[in-house]
Amino acid sequence: MPSFGKIYRTLNLLSIDVALGSVCSALFFSKVFGVSLLPYGLAVLAITVWVIYTVDHLLDARKVPEPASTERHQFHQRNFKLLLKAVYFALVVIAALIFFIRKPVLIGGVYLIAGVGLYLLVQQYMKVSKEIVVALLYTMGVSLPSMAMTKTDLSVWPWILFLQFFLTALTNLMLFAWFDRDHDLHDGRLSFVTTVGEKVSRYLIWSMPLLAILLTAISEDKTASVFIAVDAFILLLIFASRTFFERHDRFRLLGDAIFFIPILYWLL
């Protein structure tokens, strides 16, 4: 029987853990806003996130004319046709589920999907802004179901919490780009780190999670902010122990797993 480590690594290669993490984050925001989310909406969110990440990886894998230098892109190269069929099937499932989604969430989702579609069209030409756009889209995506249904006045929305979450998501992406910088250069992929250089990237990877942690002091919901601060602290720990976490892509396994932590706030 495969070990838990092998099973989780496969889930990570397939971006399934990222999809599940988006559901945990969405439930986190549902408690922040005091709304209940329907299972149909959560299912569409998880499947949509999986489709976006998988298509992004497939586009990257296709651009490399030879075997890619990372396990993730090699996996998507080897299983390109099968994964593409899975994406088509996932889109059919999404189309069937949207009939059960509440109208405010659906309307907001249409605008968000338009933004995601634009990103996928131009992502191969993006340099510095790629990680920023993805972090923003992810933050908007996991909070959208709650924002669309809340009766909370816009003036008292938890804006500091949004900023904390965004900074943590952005640090996550830039941290991954840091560890993948040599592979990206070898395969001809652009990222924030390969564009602005290691010195600036190192400064931002240290400063952004520290800022996210410090924002807890002025957050509207300090209990919720603590859970995001824990995520940010784990990312700092990964970067501080780079030699250990770069082995066997440990940074990616733990870095993606941090988005499971917010579910603990929902369970309180």
pLDDT tens per residue across span 135-173:
999 999 999 999 999 988 888 899 999 999 999 999 999
| pLDDT for residue 25 is more than 70 | yes
Classified as helix, coil or strand, 36 is: coil
Mean pLDDT throughout 201-227? Answer: 96
> One-letter amino acid identity for 148?
A
Domain ranges of the chain: 4-267
| pLDDT for residue 201 is more than 70 | yes
Phi first, then psi: what are they for 191, rounded to 5°? -150, 170
Cα separation, 73 vs 90, in Å, equals 20
Q: Look at residue 183 in the predicted model and tell me its pLDDT.
A: 81
pLDDT tens per residue across span 26-62:
999 999 999 999 999 999 999 999 999 999 889 888 8
Q: Look at residue 204 in the predicted model and tell me its pLDDT.
A: 95
Q: Who contacts 164 (Cβ-Cβ below 8 Å, separation ≥6)?
A: 212, 215, 216, 219, 225, 228, 229, 232
Q: Look at residue 223 in the predicted model and tell me its pLDDT.
A: 96
| pLDDT for residue 100 is more than 60 | yes
Mean pLDDT throughout 92-103? Answer: 94
Closest alpha carbon to 208 in 178, 175, 181, 177: 175
Tell me what percent of the residues of the chain surpass a pLDDT of 90: 69
Mean pLDDT throughout 50-76? Answer: 85
| pLDDT for residue 234 is more than 80 | yes
Cα separation, 97 vs 137, in Å, equals 21
Q: Who contacts 129 (Cβ-Cβ below 8 Å, separation ≥6)?
A: none
* Integer angstrom CA distances of residue 154 from 66, 131, 199: 50, 27, 38
Q: Who contacts 182 (Cβ-Cβ below 8 Å, separation ≥6)?
A: 69
Cα separation, 238 vs 246, in Å, equals 9
Closest alpha carbon to 75 in 44, 93, 53: 53
> One-letter amino acid identity for 25?
S
| pLDDT for residue 235 is more than 70 | yes
Q: Look at residue 128 in the predicted model and tell me its pLDDT.
A: 63
- Higher-confidence residue: 268 or 30? 30
pLDDT tens per residue across span 251-260:
999 999 999 9
| pLDDT for residue 1 is more than 80 | no
| pLDDT for residue 126 is more than 80 | no
Q: Who contacts 135 (Cβ-Cβ below 8 Å, separation ≥6)?
A: 166, 169, 170, 172, 173
**Which of 31-35, 79-83, 110-114, 229-233 shows the lowest per-residue confidence on average (mean pLDDT)?**
110-114
